[in-house]
Amino acid sequence: MWCDNCFLLFPLRAGAISLGVIMTMYQIVGGALLFTYGDFFFFHLNESSIYGGYAFAQAAMSIIAVIAFSMRSETFANFNLRVYPIIIILGLTRGIIMAWSLDHYKDRITWECDHGVTDDRILPVKFCDNDLKTLIALFSMFLIVDFGLMCYFYFMIWRFVVKLQHYPFQGKFSFS
C-alpha cells in the first residue's frame, strides 16, 4: 500500500511553495544580517561572509524548488533532490561551527561590548544590553530550527518527485 500523504503537515505542492518562500525570506534576511553585523560575532577573516554567502545559496536553492513546485517541473525537482542533501550537510556543518564559534569566542564579544565600539554598524547597541548566553542559546535554537526545516523541505521535494513519477499527467494533458 502506498501512502501519498504520510508525514505531510501541509498540502504537498502549496505547502511546499509556502515553506520555500518562508525559507527564502528568512535566509535572505539572515544572510544580509551576517554580511552587515557578522564581523562583530565571528572574528576570523571572511568567516561571516562565508556564512552569509551560504545563506544566500540556500535561498537560491529554495527559489529553484519553488519554481519546480510551481511549474510541476520534474527536471528542477530532480535537480533539487540531488543537490539538496549537499545543502543539508553543509547547513549542519555551518550550524555546528557557528554555534561553537559563538560560544568559544564569547569573551571577545563581551570585551567588545565592554570597551565600546564607535561605529554602530559594527556593533548593534541593543545587542550589548542583553545577556550574551541567552542570545547564543537563542541563535543556536534558530540554527536547529533551520536544520529541521531544511530536512522537512527535502522530504517535501522527495514526495513531490515521487508523486510526479507515479502520476505524471496529473494536471496536464496526456497525448497517448
Question: pLDDT digits over 137-157, tens only?
Answer: 888 999 999 999 999 999 999
How far apart, in whole angstroms, are the C-alpha atoms of residue 144 and residue 99?
A: 10
Alpha-carbon distance values, 85 to 90, 97, 145 (Å): 9, 18, 17
Residues above pLDDT 90, as percent of the chain: 44
The cell for 91 is: 547547513
User: In this predicted structure, what is the pLDDT of residue 121?
Assistant: 57
For residue range 88-132, what is the model confidence (pLDDT) as tens digits? 999 999 999 999 998 888 888 888 777 766 566 556 667 777 788
Instruction: Express each pLDDT in 68-84 by its tens digit.
Output: 999 888 888 999 999 99
Q: Does the predicted TM-score (pTM) go above 0.85?
A: no
Count of alpha carbons within 13 angstroms of residue 153, beta-carbon side: 31
Q: How many CA atoms lie within 13 A of 45 on its CB side?
A: 0
As a dihedral over the C-alpha atoms of residue 82, residue 64, residue 25, residue 130, rounded to 10 degrees, the angle is 20
